A and B are shown apart, each in its own frame.
Chain A
Amino acid sequence: MAAFLIRRAAFAVVTLFAVLTLVFVVVRILPGDPAQLILGDQASREAIEALRARLGLDQPIALQYLSFLANALRGDWGVSMVTGQPVLAEVLNVLPWTIDLTLVSLAFGVALGVPLGVWAAVRRNRFVDYLVRVASLVGLSFPAFVSAIILLFLFAIELHWFPVISARKGSLQAWAQSITLPAISLGLTTAAYITRVTRSAMLEVLSEDFVRTARAKGSPERIVVWRHALRNALIPIITVAGLYMSTLIGNSVLTEIVFSRPGLGKLLVGALNQRDYTMLQGMMVIYTLAVVVVNLISDLAYGVVDPRVKLG
């Protein structure tokens, strides 16, 4: 387990380093001088030169790279080219919104997907199974913003059950009201995905000898399915849930736009529209960090679920 984790952690560090390098290169090969972009076409030569010096753009490229890496590691991600606020502060400001959304969506996806998948597997090739399979394929086909728009239209605009703009915080009730629709719409594909994986993992486990043994010794079917079989099916479920987190983080951008919800997604789209390069750099790093951390957590989860992993 230790060797495994060290290897995964090393991969995480290499990935982070590679992304930082990529960000540095991409931002510098872009057409146009950032200083010119910030100040606009009317700016004087002197003003542009002064800004270039302030941003460190007049230094040799190798030096720029080293100071970029050093600053990134120290948590100094520069200031936004648009608002003038430190990038890290702006990112940390909205980060809780996105973490809230992705975690609640994941919870929704697991809470719906695991039971549905188990149910379908137990009733293999019966009506329920077909229904669950078709429903999960429909769920998988939803672009994240389409499910968001349809839910917003039905439950916020037509039925007025939820606010149209999901940006309220404060009381628990306000929080729940503003997160329900976004989390369901984002969690829909997750649920569909987890349903399918759970179903196939359960089908495999249910045909194994130990399940027959458990049944033979007279364990109630409920215990056989939910305790013996499901526990052994959890590993593939955790693997894909961990892998899917990256998609979930990506799709949250769309959900946040539709529900006018603050978060990394809205910050990202704003930065893209305004060509706020320092902000984009910071966001690339934070997204990579998020994915790397999620992957490490799912690696750790194996150990918790399956004691055998510790030996390996």
Chain B
Amino acid sequence: MATLLRAFNANKASWIGLGIVALVVVAALFAPLLAPYDPLEQDVLDRLKPPTADHLLGTDYYGRDTLSRLLYGARVSLVISLSATLIAMVAGSAIGMLAGWRGERFDAVTMQAMDMLLAFPSLILGLMLVAMLGPNMPNIIAAIALTSLPTFARIARAPTIAMKGRDFIEACRTLGFSDTRILCGHILPNIFPEILVMGTLWLANAIRTEASLAFIGLGLKPPTPTWGGMIREGFENILDSPWLAIVPSVAVLIVVFAVNLLGDGLRDAIDPKLRNET
């Protein structure tokens, strides 16, 4: 972990990524303090205004302040994508480690199922799940988590198999440690950095998927501000008020880029072999 931090330190780009991500997290946390207006407050006299001193990023069709909605939207985006990624990380790694550890039939059947899940377009899978279960926070989180599950299972499985035959694991077995203790106490710490890197890269994907679902109309119900939902509403007025769609679009782009930058830096840090590659 210490070498990981040192290697990460040397990479300027990942610090930029981390900085932007931290800024967005702070903005989301303190949205009520930072937002100049109530994100739901409508003002029919101030509809579809371009950016002005009063409304730094303009107002939407209902006269709501775009900047305030953007800040509150960051909360939705982060809560959904972080929870979905965490769930996928924990459940996926558990499945992968178990499959690798138990081997044989269990491994074959589980990984076959994971491959099928991986083969299906994740956006369409998420879309169908949310449409059928209903667009609320737990369902959206579950759908996004399910689509990223197989990647974590794959990442966790291979090193588990490789480690199963190593001497130190053999020693644990001789000492009579339970499977759970060996898996959690001795194998997990060894594969954790890789899972963390994959988690960061998939967080970027989760943010994108959440925004895409909301853009299609499968996000949290209006009037809750979500970035994808704002883009959807803004897109309806793109001919006369283009900034309404462009501003949240750029917000999504910047956040996803920052998370990707961070994930790239982390990957380079844990695997010197991969440095400057992919």
Binding site for B on A (CB under 8 A): 11, 14-15, 18-19, 26, 30, 124-125, 134, 137-138, 140-146, 149-150, 152-153, 157, 196-197, 199-200, 203-204, 246-247, 249-251, 253-254, 257-258, 268-269, 272-273, 280, 284, 287-288, 291-292, 295
> Who on chain A is nearest to B259 by CB?
A141
A62 to chain B, nearest CB (A): 23
User: B260 is contacted by which of A137, A246, A253, A284 (Cβ under 8 Å)?
Assistant: A137
Q: What CA separation (Å) do A280 and B217 show in the bound complex?
A: 17
Q: How far is the CA of A19 from the CA of B121 in the complex (A)?
A: 13
What 1/0 flags go to B101-123 for Cβ under 8 Å of A? 00000000000110110011111
Q: Find out whether the CB atom of B238 lies under 8 angstroms from the CB atom of A157.
A: yes
Closest Cβ of chain A to B181, distance in Å, is 35
The reply to whether B278 and A196 form a contact with Cβ atoms under 8 Å apart is yes
B54 within 8 Å of A by Cβ?
Answer: no
Complex: chain A residue closest to B210, CB-CB:
A143
A246 touches B119 (CB 8 A): yes
- Give the CA-CA distance A204 to B273 in the complex, in Å: 11
Instruction: Add 11 more A-B contacts to A124-B276, A141-B253, A287-B124 (CB < 8 A).
Output: A18-B116, A137-B264, A141-B260, A145-B215, A149-B235, A149-B246, A150-B249, A199-B277, A272-B127, A287-B121, A291-B120
Chain A residues within an 8 Å CB radius of B116? 14-15, 18-19
Chain A residues within 8 Å of B261, by CB? 137
Find chain B residues with CB under 8 A from A153 CB.
238, 242, 245-246
B60-101: CB near A (< 8 Å → 1, else 0) gives 000000000000000000000000000000000000000000
Of the candidates B121, B216, B253, B277, the one whose C-beta lies within 8 Å of that of A203 is B277
In the docked arrangement, what's the CA distance between A251 and B260, Å? 19
- Asked whether any CB of chain A lies closer than 8 Å to the CB of B239, the reply is yes
A268–B231 touching, CB < 8 Å: no
Residues of A with C-beta under 8 A to B249: 146, 149-150
B212: interface (CB < 8 Å): yes
- B162 at the A interface (CB under 8 A): no
Given A15-B116, A143-B252, the answer on whether A250 and B122 have CB atoms closer than 8 Å is yes
CB distance from B198 to the nearest CB of A (A): 15
Min C-beta distance of B229 to chain A, whole Å: 12
Which of A134, A152, A197, A254 lies in contact with B215, CB distance below 8 A?
Answer: A254
How far is A168 from B218 in the complex, measured between Cα atoms in Å? 28
- With both chains docked as a complex, state the minimum distance between the C-beta of A296 and any C-beta of chain B, in angstroms: 11
Q: Are A138 and B127 in contact (CB under 8 A)?
A: no
Would A295 and B119 count as touching, CB distance under 8 A?
Answer: yes
Q: Judging by beta carbons under 8 Å apart, are B112 and A14 in contact?
A: yes
Chain B stretch 215-249: residues in CB contact (< 8 A) with chain A:
215-218, 231, 235, 238-239, 242, 245-246, 249
For B253, the chain A residues whose CB sits under 8 A away are 138, 141-143, 146
Nearest neighbor of B131 in chain A, beta-carbon distance: A272
In the bound complex, how far is the Cα of B256 from the Cα of A292, in angstroms? 30
Contacts of A144 on B, CB cut-off 8 Å?
A: 212
What is the chain B residue whose CB lies nearest that of A142? B253
State the CA gap A18–B118 with chains docked (Å).
13
Minimum CB–CB distance from A213 to chain B (whole Å) comes to 23
Asked whether, in the complex, the Cβ of B122 is within 8 Å of the Cβ of A247, the reply is: yes
Chain A residues whose CB sits within 8 angstroms of the CB of B257 once the complex forms: 137-138, 141
Q: Which residue of A lies closest to B257 (CB)?
A: A141
**Is B137 part of the contact surface with A, judged by Cβ < 8 Å?**
no
Chain A positions within 8 Å of B245 at CB level: 149, 153
| B231 interface neighbour in A19, A26, A145, A273, Cβ under 8 Å | A145
Contacts of B238 in A (CB 8 A): 149, 152-153, 157
